[in-house]
């Protein structure tokens, strides 16, 4: 179990060093809308991270991780990218 926490700590450190789509979303809502919209976006990112964290920490694996995530991640990233492009077009 300590190695799992070390693994998560390393992942969060790397995420803090390199901006990703979550950072872009929170920055966009904060800059383009309002500070409260940025806080709501950050709360949504934190909630989603927590939802993905619980099954991983508890070793609950209803699906084959590699197969499930390989199907889910590209679709999520495509949808998220299209929403960012749509929001940028409206500005």
Exposure of 29 by Cβ count < 10 A (0-12 exposed, 13-18 middle, 19+ buried)? buried
Q: What is the pLDDT of residues 38-71, one digit of tens each?
A: 888 888 888 887 777 777 666 666 665 566 666 6
- pLDDT beyond 70 at 91: no
Q: What is the pLDDT of residues 20-31, one digit of tens each?
A: 778 778 888 888
Decide: pTM greater than 0.75: no
């Amino acid at each position: 179990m300590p190695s799992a926490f070390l693994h998560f700590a390393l992942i969060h450190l790397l995420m803090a060093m390199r901006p990703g789509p979550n950072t872009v979303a929170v920055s966009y809502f904060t800059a383009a809308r309002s500070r409260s919209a940025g806080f709501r976006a950050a709360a949504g990112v934190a909630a989603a991270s927590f939802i993905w964290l619980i099954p991983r920490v508890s070793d609950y694996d209803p699906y084959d991780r590699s197969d499930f995530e390989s199907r889910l991640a590209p679709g999520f990233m495509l949808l998220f990218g299209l929403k960012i492009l749509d929001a940028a077009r409206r500005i």
